[in-house]
A and B are shown apart, each in its own frame.
Chain A
Amino acid sequence: MIRVKFVKIVGTSLKKGTVTIKYPYEKPLITSEFRGKIEVDPAKCTGCGACTRICPPKALYLVKEGDNLVIRYFIGRCIFCAMCADICPQKAISVSHEFELATDDIASLYEDIEHDLVKCACGKAFAPKKLVNEVIEKTKLPPHLLTLCPECRRVETVKRLSFRLLGVKW
């Protein structure tokens, strides 16, 4: 008459014991696939900025500081999606398992990668040295053109073309 099926929970509880993990005194429960904070390898990074274009919350962004280009990683905005790691052409970004990132010093949440910029003949610093060297290696395009800024390069290309095709020298 009185159904006591609900008492079965006692058996279940006794069998399972205690499932709580005493974090942080025990290790946290993460798998091998867990996506934590990213690490950028400054040696491999060429400063192309692809990661800053794909980053959904704009945690990675470019800052021009004088003659330097800085790729700044603000951990506070990162959503740990690892799109940057997927898209980096140099495979310079790796995903770590770190997630214990809380701090009371916001300055420590900014990580910078600095790049020296190539200066054009006209004086404008337009692209990171490493990126220009990479392009020179990969494309076999003439280096004397690639070390010019886009405006000067345009002018120089027209000059050379018009000389080669029309014999006109400027």
Chain B
Amino acid sequence: MGFNVAASLALAIVYVLTIPPILDSIERKIRAKLQTRYGPPTIIQTWLDILKLMSKELRVPQGSELSYALLLTLFILGVASSAVLSFIIASKAADALSIALALVFLASLHTVSIISSAITANPFALVGLFRSIVLSIINEVGYFISIVIALTSSALIALNLNAKTFLLLSIAALAVLISTYVACGRLPYDIHEAEPELASGTLIEFSGPALALYIYTHLVERYLLMLLAIHSLFYSIAIQLPYLLSTLLTLVLASLLYLVYGAIAPLLGRTRIDLGVKFLTASYVTTLTMWVILWSV
């Protein structure tokens, strides 16, 4: 059994560190298909882009040195989060400590991203920062709560599958899906780095290898969010399967969720911060209330 966990862990780590850029390329191809054009020529395009960026000149604009320093922290945090989450998936952990650890790592990753925008001297980035902070506060809370209630529902289903527990899982699933989507930073919620005419976030400071690192960490983070989401929703199935199979299933389902989200994003426009806040607050309050009421019944 120890060997199985170790094998699953190895599989998970390798997968998490190599597949997200490929998923990004597939997403770009899907978006292109929806827009009647070709998109990137190969599935490994994002990897090729990252490697190409590695070979470009590194130029640190005045005033953004701190952002560059934080970038290394970001990358290390990204790798560490991958390790933590891979371990959780591989060992099918669902205890409070592990989940808390996972959520803390993911939150730190997101926070460090925001901080690197905050400490830049670029005036445009500050505008995106304000929106990013507001959105993050609401959505991170939503994400945490949704993961917790999803895992709880999954655990309840594992104990006893009936209409009530299934309904609980469905409500939790709704909250998980919304919060995961928003946390990815896809349309309609890409406003922290969008309004490219006005505020383009930190991306404009990074060049060459730094940009490659940033993009890579960003893609891995997106995938990790999916991973935790799928883990919390399919936990009741995962615990019944052997380690290797459950890990593989979770990894693949998370990839599919990534691509489904990738297909939804081009269909929508960009929201505005006040509209986004209204929608998210309403969604989380409603789902949490419904879940709590149903649970206590």
**Chain A residues in the interface with B (C-beta under 8 A):** 6-7, 9-10, 13, 16-20, 22
A154 CA to B36 CA, complexed, in Å: 72
**A6 nearest in chain B by CB position:** B267
A170 CA to B107 CA, complexed, in Å: 110
Contacting residues, chain B, for A13 (C-beta < 8 A): 33-36
In the complex, which residues 37-70 of chain B have their Cβ closer than 8 Å to any Cβ of chain A? 37-38
Q: Is A9 a contact of B267 with CB atoms below 8 Å? A: yes
Residue of B with least CB distance to A15: B36
- CB B199 to nearest CB in A, in angstroms, measures 26
Q: Complex Cα distance A114/B34, Å?
A: 56
B268 within 8 A of A: yes
Partner pick for B36 among A6, A7, A19, CB 8 A cutoff: A19
Q: Which residues of A contact B38 (CB under 8 A)?
A: 18, 20, 22
CB distance from A22 to the nearest CB of B (A): 8
List A contacts of B34 (CB < 8 A).
Answer: 9-10, 13
Q: Please give me the 4 A-B residue pairs with the lowest Cβ-Cβ distance, nearest first.
A: A13-B34, A19-B36, A16-B36, A20-B37
Inter-chain residue pair count (beta carbon < 8 A) = 23
Q: B257-297: contact bitstring with A at CB < 8 Å (1 yes, 0 no)?
A: 00000000001100000000000000000000000000000
Q: Is the CB of A7 within 8 A of B267?
A: yes
Show 23 A/B contacts (Cβ-Cβ < 8 Å), sorted by A. A6-B267, A6-B268, A7-B267, A9-B34, A9-B267, A10-B34, A10-B267, A13-B33, A13-B34, A13-B35, A13-B36, A16-B36, A17-B36, A18-B33, A18-B36, A18-B37, A18-B38, A19-B36, A19-B37, A20-B36, A20-B37, A20-B38, A22-B38
B interface residues, Cβ below 8 angstroms from A: 33-38, 267-268
- Report how far A22 CA is from B36 CA in the complex, Å: 13
Give B104 Cβ to nearest chain A Cβ, in Å: 34
For residue B41, give the distance in angstroms from its CB to the closest CB of chain A. Answer: 11
Q: SS class of chain A's interface: helix, strand, loop or mixed?
A: helix
CB distance from B28 to the nearest CB of A (A): 14
Q: Is the interface of B mostly helix, strand, loop or mixed?
A: loop
Bound complex: CA of A9 vs CA of B33, how far in Å? 11
Give bound CA distance, A6 to B267, whole Å: 7
A6 to B34, CA, bound (A): 12
A-chain residues with CB within 8 Å of residue B37 when the two chains form the complex: 18-20
A146 to chain B, nearest CB (A): 64
Q: Residue on B with the closest CB to A10? A: B34
Interchain nearest-CB distance for B128 vs A (Å)? 26
Q: How far is the CA of A22 from the CA of B37 in the complex (A)?
A: 11
Shortest C-beta distance, B13 to chain A (Å), equals: 36
Q: Closest Cβ of chain A: how far from B188's Cβ, in Å?
A: 11
Minimum CB–CB distance from B38 to chain A (whole Å) comes to 5
From B263, which residue of chain A is reached at the shortest CB distance?
Answer: A10
Across the interface, which residues of B come within 8 angstroms of A17, CB to CB? 36
- Closest A residue to B267 by CB, please name it: A6
Within the complex, the shortest CB–CB distance from B36 to chain A, in Å, comes to 5
B282 → A minimal CB distance (Å) = 13
In the bound complex, residues from chain A placing their C-beta under 8 Å from that of B33 are 13, 18
Q: A13-B34, A17-B36 are in contact. List 4 more A-B contacts (CB 8 A).
A: A13-B33, A18-B33, A18-B37, A20-B37
B33 nearest CB neighbor, chain A only: A13
Complex CA gap A9/B38 in Å reads 17
CA distance A16 to B35 in the complex (A): 9
A16 to B32, CA, bound (A): 12
- Report A20 CB to chain B, min CB distance, Å: 5
For A6, the chain B residues whose CB sits under 8 A away are 267-268
Closest to B32 in A: A18
Q: Which residues of A contact B36 (CB under 8 A)?
A: 13, 16-20
**Chain B residues, CB < 8 A from A22:** 38
Q: Chain A residues near B267 (CB, 8 Å)?
A: 6-7, 9-10
Q: How far is the CA of A16 from the CA of B34 in the complex (A)?
A: 10
Q: Which residues of A lie under 8 Å from residue B268 when comparing CB positions?
A: 6
Q: Which residues of B contact A7 (CB under 8 A)?
A: 267
Expressed in whole angstroms, the Cα–Cα distance for A13 and B36 within the complex equals 6
CA distance A7 to B33 in the complex (A): 14
| Closest A residue, CB atoms, query B269 | A6
Instruction: With CB as the reference atom, state the residue of chain A lying closest to B35.
Output: A13
